[in-house]
Amino acid sequence: MTTQQELLHPLLPGEKIPNDWYPGIIPANIKVGDNTVVESSFSFKHFFSSLPVALLVGDNVTLWRTAISTEENGLIEIGDDCYIANASLVCSQKITIGNRVFIAGGVTIADSDFHPLDPALRLADTIALSPIGNSKNRPAMKSKPVIIEDDVWIGFNATILKGVRIGAGAVIQPGALVTDHVPAGVTVSGNPAKPVKLYQ
In CATH, the architecture of 5-189 is: 3 Solenoid (2.160)
Each of the 200 residues of the chain gets a pLDDT tens digit; together they read 455 567 899 999 999 999 999 999 999 999 999 999 999 999 999 999 999 999 999 999 999 999 999 999 999 999 999 999 999 999 999 999 999 999 999 999 999 988 777 888 788 878 888 898 888 777 777 899 999 999 999 999 999 999 999 999 999 999 999 999 999 999 999 999 999 977 65
Number of C-beta neighbours around residue 127 at 10 A: 13
Q: Residue 107 to residues 11, 46, 89, 125, 160: CA-CA distances in angstroms? A: 21, 17, 8, 26, 8
Task: Tell me what pLDDT residue 199 has.
Answer: 60
The secondary structure of 119-149 as a DSSP string is HHHHHHHHHHHSTTS-GGGPPP--B--EEE-
Domain parsing of the chain, residue ranges: 5-189
User: Residue 103 corresponds to which amino acid?
Assistant: I
Task: Tell me what pLDDT residue 74 has.
Answer: 97
Please identify which of the residues 9, 46, 115, 181 carries the catalytic annotation: 115
Active site residue 9: no
Burial class (CB in 10 A: 0-12, 13-18, 19+), 118: exposed
Task: Tell me what pLDDT residue 4 has.
Answer: 58
